[in-house]
A and B are shown apart, each in its own frame.
Chain A
């Protein structure tokens, strides 16, 4: 597998040096954003495997098509790609679910392996307090319509302003304001009694 060390050893000129800079900068950027991106995709899809696939696709497209762009542009571009992929996934899954309900007459069951505890995680005693709040906010976020969820996460978590969020979501600033306002209102209502 190609690494920055391999790249260092092959430097011979300014072009290669520029490539190394881009490589390292993109590596830092993706390492910084990948966990939040996964959580966003996971909240949207409700499925870890699909979320990982979506994040991988977004990373790949960013590197292939926008790797040469200014580093400052990567954040909004990455989220634009990711949110677009999530919307595509959402549309596909809606169609698939309609067919499944129509053919089988019931929703598909969750893989039982997903219900097993993960041995790598911290023990139950350490997690109980945090988990309640976490699961409450997860549930509340998953109940939001997709666009409200995206607007809330991009604005609150990524810290994007309205224009940046609009660019990432591919909609107008006015729509972002509406989605965000409704999301905050709904979350406050759903989380009443749970301080997140």
Chain B
């Protein structure tokens, strides 16, 4: 097929297709008009401000970065000593049920204070 023949063929096909749209029936034209009006209504119903299209991926990236940074900080930070700082004495008291009872008995400490000679626990 020569290029000239092909161009003629395509021009003729285009002309036939154009003719076909001018012969559309009234029902179809009415439906198309209605569809167009509906689409234009939806345009009017939209809010005036729209987020730019790049906001969604940018927001997702920012959220992912935030999670990454927070995760990194939590992973690398040592637990605070103040929460678990216990001297060996306290650990010993807490670990022993019997000693714990003594440690919480205020009468015992009062009795001990009254019967201990002054300066008995003074460090030398």
Residues in A lying within 8 Å of B, measured CB to CB: 1-2, 7, 15, 19, 22-23, 26-27, 30-31, 34-36, 38-39, 48, 52, 55-56, 59-60, 62-64, 67-68, 118, 120-122, 127, 130, 133-134, 137-138, 153, 156-157, 184, 187-188, 191, 195-196
**Residues of chain A with a CB closer than 8 A to B90's CB:** none
Q: Say yes or no: is B118 at the interface (Cβ < 8 Å to chain A).
A: no
**Residues of chain A with a CB closer than 8 A to B29's CB:** 35
Check A68–B50 contact: CB distance below 8 A: yes
A39 with B42, Cβ < 8 A, contacts A1-B37, A59-B36, A120-B25 known? no
Mostly helix, strand, loop or mixed at chain B's interface?
helix
A120 with B36, Cβ < 8 A, contacts A63-B42, A130-B19 known? no
B39 touches which of A59, A187, A191 (Cβ 8 Å): A59
B28 touches which of A1, A48, A122 (Cβ 8 Å): A48
- A sample of 28 inter-chain contacts (CB < 8 A) reads A1-B37, A7-B44, A15-B48, A19-B44, A19-B48, A30-B39, A30-B40, A35-B32, A39-B21, A55-B35, A56-B31, A56-B35, A56-B38, A60-B35, A60-B39, A60-B42, A63-B39, A63-B40, A64-B46, A118-B25, A134-B20, A137-B16, A137-B17, A138-B20, A184-B10, A188-B1, A188-B6, A191-B9
Check A39–B17 contact: CB distance below 8 A: yes
**Residues of chain B with a CB closer than 8 A to A195's CB:** 12
**Residues of chain B with a CB closer than 8 A to A153's CB:** 17
Q: Which residue of A lies closest to B31 (CB)?
A: A52
Check A134–B12 contact: CB distance below 8 A: no
**Residues of chain A with a CB closer than 8 A to B4's CB:** none
Cα distance A99–B95 in the bound complex, in angstroms: 74
Check A121–B25 contact: CB distance below 8 A: yes
Interface mask (B5-19 → A, CB under 8 Å = 1, otherwise 0): 010011011111101
Chain B, interface size category, equals: 35 or more
Check A64–B44 contact: CB distance below 8 A: no
A22 touches which of B6, B16, B31, B43 (Cβ 8 Å): B43
**Residues of chain B with a CB closer than 8 A to A15's CB:** 48
Closest 3 CB pairs of A and B: A56-B35, A59-B39, A35-B21
Check B31–A26 contact: CB distance below 8 A: no
Check B36–A27 contact: CB distance below 8 A: yes
A2 with B35, Cβ < 8 A, contacts A48-B28, A118-B25, A130-B19 known? no
What is the CB-to-nearest-CB distance from A101 to chain B, in angstroms, rounded to a whole number? 30
